[in-house]
A and B are shown apart, each in its own frame.
Chain A
Amino acid sequence: MMAIRVFQVSKSYRYFQALREISFEVPPGSCYTLFGPNGAGKTTLLTILATLQRPSSGTIEILGHDGVKAREKIRPALFYVAHGSYLYDELDARENLRFALALYGKRVADRELKEALDRVGIGAFSDLRTRFYSAGMKKRLAVAKGILIRPKVLLLDEPYSSLDESGMAMVNDAIRELIDGGTAVFMATHNRTRSAEVANQAGLLRKGKLCPLGLEQLSGAHVIF
């Protein structure tokens, strides 16, 4: 069974067609990387996969469940790291993590929480309210959420943005660990070099249409868009 199966999906707003008959599949334990210029429809596709929007036509299956009709069955297995950090400014890192885990019906020990924060490099700031965090620190905390929730399907929107080199390496380590545990990762990014380190499949989205890319096109000097 595919973790993500997208078939002939289109999405149109009143005067604008954001996605045109997109189809692809992502098996469990693999990573699909999506590229595309700004406004190509990457975030639209991610929000549809995250069950935040419905497609205008076509079908989506996540772990064998219909992405529109069976959202309640999909959501426990899915986590989305988007542009927004999903952090509450007045809570500190630990409180934010505990809150996010509570929404997933999960509870972790203090030790596990500390390990996750240390791993993403913000252990020293765990008692600081996230309103004082930089964009990079917020991104690291979002990755810590993904590590602790351990979803079966992880959606990432620009996971490398705002991060320094060590942060990008940390994201890839986390992605590799999740993939090894059977998670299917779908990410939209502009960072070809970093994403090439973890991708098993790639695609280029341009004007709402998806074209498959060879992995060699990610690491080389090809201009893909």
Chain B
Amino acid sequence: MSFFNVIRWITWKDLISEFRNRENFSSMLFFALIVVLIFSFSFSMDQTSGREQIPGIIWVAFTFTGMIGLGKSFAAELHNDCLDSLQFSPAQKGAVFIGKFLANLLFLLFVELLLFPMFVLLFNLEVLEKLPTILVIFLGGSVGLSAVGTLFSAMTVQIRAREVMLPILLLPLAVPLIIGGVEATAGVLRGDPFLLYAHWIRLLFAFDVIFLVVSFWAFEWILDT
């Protein structure tokens, strides 16, 4: 019971803190909007060329926006030495990880849900029928990104150059997720039959499971080191 209670409290604490100061969310959203606008002005897109390029643009926006949020996830714990209290408290470190991961995932999904209609409007996408599949793909990519990002955020939080180190560590590992996300999204937007891109979705969720399990087990060691 205590394990789930800790998860609930950590997630609640992160969400309520963010809701009250909006520092993280506003910087994530602002960055994402700028990315979308720059790309929309850079490419004169008709429906055909858009379908080829938009998946990459979407996942670039999601990945880099996610990194802003993930970078601040554990940096916030440094204030008032809160990270120390998480370390010496008897709370299971795995529960702390899951709590932080859930909060990061919810931030990212929320920003994605706000951002995607912008893509639809600016790039003139027809997605209404494909929306459930697209949301599943977004969920798959976001879970993996949040899992490995939460781990690396904890790993780099004590490093002076953490803003530089987080992308250096995170991006190479996130490549399979990004590729999977881009290919699956491209398949959906092209209107391909599901079976043609289903393996990319399976890849996304396979990486989600791997990243979640590895991050969960590694987190205690990282927090105590």
State the A residues within 8 Å of B (CB).
50-52, 71-72, 75-76, 78, 80, 82-91, 95, 98-100, 102-105, 129, 138
Contact = CB atoms under 8 A, between A and B. Distances in A.
A104 B81 CA distance: 17
Given A86-B81, A95-B13, 20 more contacts: A51-B87, A52-B87, A71-B224, A72-B90, A75-B89, A84-B81, A86-B82, A86-B85, A88-B13, A88-B80, A90-B20, A90-B21, A95-B16, A99-B13, A100-B89, A103-B9, A103-B89, A104-B89, A129-B20, A138-B80
B82 A88 contact: yes
Interface of B is mostly: helix
A83 B85 CA distance: 12
Given A85-B80, A89-B79, A91-B13, A103 B20 contact: no
Given A102-B5, A103-B6, A103-B89, A87 B80 contact: yes
A76 B88 CA distance: 9
Interface string B22-35: 00000000000000
Nearest to A76: B90
B96 to A, nearest CB: 8
Contact of B17 (A76, A83, A90, A102): A90
B145 to A, nearest CB: 25
Given A75-B90, A84-B80, A86-B81, A102 B6 contact: yes
B86 interface: yes
Interface in B50-73: none
Contact of B82 (A72, A84, A98): A84
B66 to A, nearest CB: 22
B84 A52 contact: yes
A51 B9 CA distance: 23
A78 B17 CA distance: 27
B91 interface: yes
B97 to A, nearest CB: 14
A176 to B, nearest CB: 24
A103 B13 contact: no
A87 B81 CA distance: 8
29 contacts: A51-B87, A52-B84, A72-B90, A75-B89, A76-B90, A78-B88, A80-B85, A82-B81, A84-B82, A85-B81, A86-B82, A86-B85, A87-B82, A88-B17, A89-B21, A90-B16, A90-B20, A91-B13, A95-B16, A98-B9, A99-B13, A102-B5, A102-B8, A102-B9, A103-B85, A103-B86, A103-B90, A105-B5, A105-B90
